[in-house]
Amino acid sequence: MKEKKKLSLPAWIVIALVAGIVLGLICYFAGIADFTTNYLKPIGTIFVNLLKFIVVPVVLFSMIVGILDMGDLKKVGSVGWKTVVYFLVTTAIACVIGLLFAKIFEGAGWFPTLALEEGAVWEKATSANFMDTLVGIFPSNMWQAFFDANMLQVIVIALFFGGCILAAGEKGKLVADFVGSAYAVIEKLMNFVISLSPIGVFTMMAWVVATQGPSIIGALGIVIGCAYIGYVVHAVLVYSLSAKIFAHINPLKFFKGAFAAMAFAFTSTSSAATLPVSKDCAHELGSDDDIASFVLPLGATINMDGTAIYQCVATVFLAALCGINLSLGQMITVVVTATLASIGTAGVSGAGMIMLAMVLTQIGVPVDMIMIIYGVDRLFDMGRTCLNVTGDISCSLCVTEWEKNKAAKKAAKA
């Protein structure tokens, strides 16, 4: 008997996307958009609710696990802190680049505002100023932070607990084991929710296109274009410069050497799955193997420049769709939250989209808006993963060079 071939999740997502658009167009032109609002949108809402429901535990546990892993940083000393500083600085630059291009596109009027129905489909967020945001980061009640899904507060809680578990040493081991085990369970839950995404994509895409008309499809093309401009500018600017200035490698040689990993990341949409190829590329480009073995796995877990750009662009786009113009305080919040969110993003396909919920929640953009871009998330994901992996290889080369210089200086002194 012939074995039935199972379609992969990405294939199902594409089918759901196309089917949703087709049904949406039919309903739009037939003047029966209400059908999608009454019967399809509620199903999409269930999917979005599941996303909202897992975002707090995912952020809490993945952050604590990340900090516990960082506890080993002390062991690797100077390589450890140089790596983390490189990751943080490049991710923050990525956020600024993403925000800049998104604001240019928004300013040019290329991000439309959705025609919201009477009775407001989404409430508009009130803009907060920077000092309020700063004070608001620190929770006065832990449970309230979870209850309100206040993501910056959840991160602060994770930082405190992570740090204190490490400080407690042997006595904190039980809690550390509990967190590790809880994260394994949450990861399973996350995979389950992601596996339901074709249903969410189909119903929400049909509803969005039926109620907004064909112009929304063009808007999606534009926002993808905006993210890709950000990816390319970041690669050319940050990685070329760091290859040239810090690693003393010709940028063209760098990109040629990293190409295999970039191509693999682009198609697999997973930094973690690309690890063996990245290691090969880093080795060929002259990275120290010990340093690569430390930097690359850590980078695949916490260094996500592409994801940071995507989160900033998507946030401005979705905010614009619901008529929210971000204040300066909110933009700073986006940079801080997107940097942290990208650190918390797992190096697997589609994880950046779950963390986007955290950025949106933080600045008051309804999480339901994610469904508008969810259908095309794979297209964003290919580019962002490619950038994420390139950043890891670039870091490995820079740290190798810095360590070489340090050793040379030491030898000269002796």
Report DSSP state, residue 169. Answer: G
Tokens of 355: 């963390």
Stretch that binds ligand ASP, among 108-116, 313-321, 326-334, 350-358 (CB under 6 A): 350-358
Report the 3 state secondary structure along 8-75: CHHHHHHHHHHHHHHHHHHHHHHCCHHHHHHHHHHHHHHHHHHHHHHHHHHHHHHHHHHHHHHCCHHH
Residues 291-310 that bind ligand ASP (CB under 6 A): 304, 307
Report DSSP state, residue 322. Answer: T
Q: Which residue's beta carbon is nearest to the bound ligand ASP?
A: 352
Task: Estimate the share of the chain in helix, then strand, then coil, as percent rounded to the nearest 5.
Answer: 80, 0, 20
Report DSSP state, residue 140. Answer: S
Question: How far apart are alpha carbons 95 and 81 in whole angstroms?
Answer: 21
Question: How far apart are alpha carbons 241 and 352 in whole angstroms?
Answer: 26
Does residue 384 bind ligand ASP (CB under 6 A)?
yes
Task: Pick between residue 50 and residue 145 the one whose CB is nearest to ligand ASP.
Answer: 50
Q: How far is the CB of 381 from ligand ASP (least distance, A)?
A: 5
Specify the long-range contacts of residues 42-49, CB closer than 8 Å, at least 24 apart: 43/199, 43/200, 43/203, 44/200, 44/203, 44/204, 44/207, 44/371, 45/368, 47/193, 47/196, 47/197, 47/199, 47/200, 47/203, 47/204, 47/371, 48/200, 48/204, 48/367, 48/368, 48/370, 48/371
Task: Pick between residue 27 and residue 314 the one whose CB is nearest to ligand ASP.
Answer: 314
Residues 99-158 that bind ligand ASP (CB under 6 A): none
Does residue 315 bind ligand ASP (CB under 6 A)?
no
Report DSSP state, residue 138. Answer: S
Which one of 66, 162, 257, 352 is in contact with ligand ASP (CB under 6 A)? 352
Task: Pick between residue 153 and residue 269 the one whose CB is nearest to ligand ASP.
Answer: 269
Task: Pick between residue 145 and residue 372 the one whose CB is nearest to ligand ASP.
Answer: 372
Stretch that binds ligand ASP, among 195-203, 248-256, 285-293, 340-348 (CB under 6 A): 340-348
Q: How far is the CB of 107 from ligand ASP (least distance, A)?
A: 26
Q: How far is the CB of 269 from ligand ASP (least distance, A)?
A: 5
Q: How far is the CB of 352 from ligand ASP (least distance, A)?
A: 2
CA dist 198 to 11, 17, 232, 373, 378, Å? Answer: 9, 8, 29, 13, 12
CA dist 173 to 90, 100, 155, Å? Answer: 33, 44, 21
Q: How far is the CB of 368 from ligand ASP (least distance, A)?
A: 20
Stretch that binds ligand ASP, among 161-169, 233-241, 282-290, 379-387 (CB under 6 A): 379-387
Does residue 351 bind ligand ASP (CB under 6 A)?
yes
Task: Pick between residue 265 and residue 365 the one whose CB is nearest to ligand ASP.
Answer: 265
Stretch that binds ligand ASP, among 1-9, 135-143, 316-324, 382-390 (CB under 6 A): 382-390
Task: Pick between residue 210 and residue 395 the one whose CB is nearest to ligand ASP.
Answer: 395
Which one of 203, 269, 278, 396 is in contact with ligand ASP (CB under 6 A)? 269
Residues binding ligand ASP: what is the number (CB under 6 A)?
16
Does residue 378 bind ligand ASP (CB under 6 A)?
no
Task: Pick between residue 196 and residue 408 the one whose CB is nearest to ligand ASP.
Answer: 196
Does residue 348 bind ligand ASP (CB under 6 A)?
yes
Contact 304, 390 (CB under 8 A): no
Task: Pick between residue 230 and residue 350 the one whose CB is nearest to ligand ASP.
Answer: 350
Q: Which residues contact 229 (CB under 8 A, 6 or more apart)?
A: 101
Question: How far apart are alpha carbons 307 and 404 in whole angstroms?
Answer: 31
Which one of 36, 388, 390, 400 is in contact with ligand ASP (CB under 6 A)? 388
Residues that bind ligand ASP (CB under 6 A): 269-271, 304, 307, 345, 347-352, 381, 384-385, 388
